[in-house]
Amino acid sequence: MADFSVADVKKLRERTGAGMMDAKKALTEAGGDIEAAVDALRAKGLATAQKKSSRTAAEGLVGVLVQGTKGVAVEVNSETDFVAKNDQFQSFVRNATAVALGLGTDDVEALKAAAYPEGGTVAEKLTDNVATIGENQQIRRIKTVSVEKGAVISYMHTAAAEGLGKIGVLIGLESEAGADVLEPLGKQLAMHAAAAFPMALDADGLDADVIERERKIAAEKAAETGKPADVQAKMVDGAVKKFAKENALLSQIFVMDNKTVIADLVAQAGKAAGTPIVLKDYARFQLGEGIEKEEVDFAAEVAATLKG
């Protein structure tokens, strides 16, 4: 008996773009483990969709807010997109983001324990929302971006309301340059980050587990070539370096001209302004990234309710 279902095959195909038979074979060889099957298909060059986190699987809203040289991004999840359009929910995300901006910490529990503008704590207001709206809601994560001198610029892609949407980006630029220079540069960088999905500011910031996973996949591909071990080792190192370059913001190629490295773009802007500009930090929150959401058969759910 197979260790996977038709739904698993469908999910793997959506994740990788692989054909039906390739997906089934990969799942069979992986004993039903979808993550292992994804890696196997990538190693064989049969996967076209490489980033699990680029698939949004949860609903809700991302809130971003900037005051002076500090900005914050907050993600609050809900079960359905209907709630994301609810005025009460939007008000909560907006207020929670404002509270987070004043905390000075990215600890979700600290935010939940903080005072809510309308009374009580953020956690108590969240509980009240769950009770009145009738749907589970969770504060998932926070990221603060700040600079000593310069500007923090925000950008919201697919905005639902002011400061609220599906993809929120913050760019922290450290510089003596004026807002007339930093604001447009920051907006371009934020739009790039929204589109290019960087995983870290630079190669050193990439997660060690992610790099190790890429190294293993590259090693499998290299082994299939049958080339000498030393050649395979160079192939693996090259593949890992390429992955790091493509996924670190500073080394990515600017999407708007498809030729300039982001670090060079920032340096050029500083040279033109007559003062250095440093891309110090960034935040990119895409709603639901990395969350696997259970697919619900609403027809069956309603039928079950009627039977009850």
Domain limits, the chain? 1-50, 59-201+265-286
What pLDDT is recorded for position 150? 97
Residue 284: left (phi > 0), alpha (psi -120 to 50), or beta? beta
Q: How far apart are CA 208 and CA 219, in angstroms?
A: 16
Kindly compute the dihedral angle of the four CA atoms of residues 171, 173, 178, 179, in this order, to the nearest 10 degrees. Answer: 10
What pLDDT is recorded for position 135? 80
148 three-class SS: coil
Residue 67: left (phi > 0), alpha (psi -120 to 50), or beta? beta
- Integer angstrom CA distances of residue 57 from 11, 104, 260, 296: 12, 29, 32, 12
Task: Going residue by residue through the chain, which has 308 residues, state the pLDDT in tens, using 9 for 90 and above.
Answer: 467 888 888 888 767 767 778 888 889 988 988 888 888 887 876 665 344 333 333 789 999 999 999 999 999 999 888 888 999 999 999 999 999 999 989 999 999 999 999 999 999 999 888 888 878 889 999 999 999 999 999 999 988 888 999 999 999 999 999 999 999 999 999 999 999 999 999 999 999 999 999 999 999 999 999 999 999 999 999 999 999 999 999 999 999 999 999 999 999 999 999 999 999 999 999 998 877 655 545 455 445 544 54
Instruction: Report the top-level CATH class of 1-50.
Output: mainly alpha
Q: How far apart are CA 53 and CA 213, in angstroms?
A: 15
**Token pair of 110 as six digits:** 């600290």
Question: What is the pTM (predicted TM-score) of this model?
Answer: 0.76
What pLDDT is recorded for position 303? 52
The CATH H-level (homologous superfamily) assignment of domain 59-201+265-286 is: Elongation factor Ts, dimerisation domain (3.30.479.20)
